């Protein structure tokens, strides 16, 4: 019973969390996202590893959270913009992106399964992916790393439980 509740929470949690995101004004989202992104990528920014984003627009969409934004580099800091055009778009669902961030899922595998979509300037997309791959989890702020790891473990276990339940239903007699 608890396993079914766990799987249900993992499967439907992003939709529920997406409701407040849909009603949150963009200036509030912008402030939170800019602080989080600049905190997370402070070392990469200091080393100039994100300079390729200067004047380039990276779109991120987390569909099941109703979250979409554009990121660029302005004055040595990551800025969040609200517009519809980007040079490259990264699109995925919250659970998959969380598993990628926690290194529990391979982004290439998700891309080939069409669970992670990269559209637009593929060269820019590859540069972004390479920077993301190069970030060592230990370089992340401890609070953020711990939160991501714990949420990813919860999601991973819930997705596995949901897959087991689907297999059991597939083998059941009608």
Dist. CA 38–CA 141, nearest whole Å = 11
pTM here? 0.82
Dist. CA 6–CA 158, nearest whole Å = 6
Q: Average pLDDT, stretch 6-19?
A: 84
pLDDT for 84 beyond 90: no
- The values of phi and psi at residue 163, to 5°, are -65, -40
| Burial class (CB within 10 angstroms; exposed 0-12, middle 13-18, buried 19+) of 78 | buried
pLDDT tens-digit series, residues 125-148:
989 988 888 877 787 788 888 998
Q: Are 78 and 37 in contact (CB under 8 A)?
A: yes
- pLDDT for 59 equals 96
pLDDT tens-digit series, residues 98-110:
999 888 999 889 9
pLDDT for 164 beyond 70: no
Q: Are 33 and 80 in contact (CB under 8 A)?
A: yes
Report all structural domains of the chain as residue ranges with CATH numbers, in order of start.
25-164 (3.30.1050.10)
């Amino acid at each position: 019973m608890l396993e079914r509740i766990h799987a249900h929470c993992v499967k439907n949690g992003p939709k529920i969390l997406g409701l407040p995101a849909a009603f949150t004004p963009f200036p509030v989202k912008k402030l939170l996202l800019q602080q989080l992104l600049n905190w997370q990528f402070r070392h990469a920014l200091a080393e100039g590893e994100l300079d390729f984003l200067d004047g380039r627009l990276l779109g991120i969409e987390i569909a099941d959270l109703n979250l979409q934004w554009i990121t660029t580099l302005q004055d040595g800091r990551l800025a969040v913009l609200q517009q519809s055009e980007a040079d490259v778009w990264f699109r995925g669902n919250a659970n998959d992106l969380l598993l990628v961030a926690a290194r529990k899922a391979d982004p290439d595998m998700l891309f080939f399964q069409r669970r992670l979509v990269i559209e637009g300037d593929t060269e820019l997309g590859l540069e972004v992916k390479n920077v993301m791959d190069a970030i060592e989890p230990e370089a992340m702020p401890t609070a953020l790393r711990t939160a991501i790891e714990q949420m990813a473990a919860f999601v991973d276990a819930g997705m596995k439980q949901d897959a087991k339940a689907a297999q059991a239903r597939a083998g059941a007699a009608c």
